[in-house]
Amino acid sequence: LLTASASPLPRSSSRAMSKYQQLLAVIEEMGTDIRPTYAGSKTSVERLKRSIVHARILVRECLMETERGARTQ
């Protein structure tokens, strides 16, 4: 699911997926923008920046879920 919007996945899909699955999808999508970025594509650079910000947020959320799960055990 490749889109030019800030969120790489449609809202309905991202709710059904775990944070970890969302993170994996964002990382996979980032891979498609690496090569065009080196070639100087400005749109790929902007999409990659947005994906990095999104991935950082998801990493924090995954860590919070993991810590919450560890406390309940």
Helix (H, G, I), strand (E, B) or coil at 10: coil
Q: Return the pLDDT at 1.
A: 43
* Model pLDDT for residues 1-55, shown as the tens digit of each residue: 444 444 444 444 545 689 999 999 999 999 999 999 999 999 999 999 999 999 9
How many Cβ atoms from other residues are within 10 Å of residue 54's Cβ? Answer: 19
Count Cα neighbours of 58 within 13 Å in the Cβ-side half-sphere.
Answer: 22
Q: How far apart are the first and last CA of the chain?
A: 36
Mean pLDDT of 59-72: 92
